[in-house]
Amino acid sequence: MAARRPLSAEEQARLAALLRANPALTAVWEEEARLSQCLHRLPPVPVSSNFTALVRQRVARESAPARAREAAFSPFRAWLRSWGLGWQLGTAGLVLAVGIATYRQHQLQVRTEMLREVAALSALANSPGVDTLIDYVPIQTLPASAAADRELLDALR
């Protein structure tokens, strides 16, 4: 703490008591105090007398392109500003209305698609039962030639 500010009278007294009780700490304390002095008393690095003027020149030089860019955009900004609050609110309302209409259209599409799928499902419910379809696969795998039909007839006979 003494490295940051002078100690108060009370702190000085407490420190003196501590050092009396621990004489070995005295040397360490003195070194610490001298180190703080060393750091605090380091000579300031010389700064050129025109430092501030040089900074001002650099600011002027480096902010010139930014000002030019800003100037290029200023007519557009002025045009936007000239719109006024009424126009801005109107535009916001229009954007909101278009957004709501788009969302509703999307919902309608989703519902139509769902209806179509439900209709397809109900059509499937009217198709023949599983028993009817059980021989469907073997019949499908029979060869389509006339010789096969004859073989089948012979077999049935």
Partner 1 sequence: MGADQESDAALMLRVQRGDMVAFEALVDRHKQGVVNLVYRTLPDAAEAEDLAQTAFVQVYKSAHRYRATAKFTTWLYTIARNLCLNEIRRRSRHPAEALDAPVAGVEGESERQIGDVRSFSPDQTALHNELSEKVEQALSELPENQRTALLLCQQEDLAYDDIAKVLDCSLSATKSLIHRGRETLRQRLKTYLRSGQWNAARD
Sites of contact with partner 1 (CB under 8 A): 3-4, 27, 30-32, 34-52, 54-59, 61-63, 65-66
* Residue 110: CB minimum distance to partner 1, A: 46
- In sequence order, which ranges of 41-50 are alpha helices (DSSP H)? none
The residue among 38 and 147 lying less far from partner 1, judged by its C-beta, is: 38
Q: Which residue has the tokens 């126009």?
A: 87
Q: Which residues have C-beta within 8 Å of that of residue 32, sequence separation ≥ 6?
A: 2, 3
Alpha carbons 106 and 86: distance in angstroms, whole number: 30
Shortest distance in whole angstroms from residue 17 CB to partner 1: 24
H helix runs in the chain, sequence order: 9-21, 24-40, 51-82, 84-125, 130-133, 136-141, 146-156
Token duo for residue 56 = 């001002």
Smallest separation (angstroms) from partner 1 to the CB of 85: 25
In the complex, the smallest distance separating the C-beta of residue 65 from partner 1, rounded to whole angstroms, is 7
- 6, 40 contact by CB (below 8 A): no
CB nearer partner 1, residue 58 or residue 150: 58
Q: Letter for the amino acid at 104?
A: R
DSSP state of 23: T
Nearer to partner 1, 66 or 121 (CB): 66
Q: How far is the CB of 53 from partner 1 (least distance, A)?
A: 9
Nearer residue to partner 1 within complex by CB, 5 or 157:
5
State which residue, 16 or 27, has the beta carbon closest to partner 1. 27
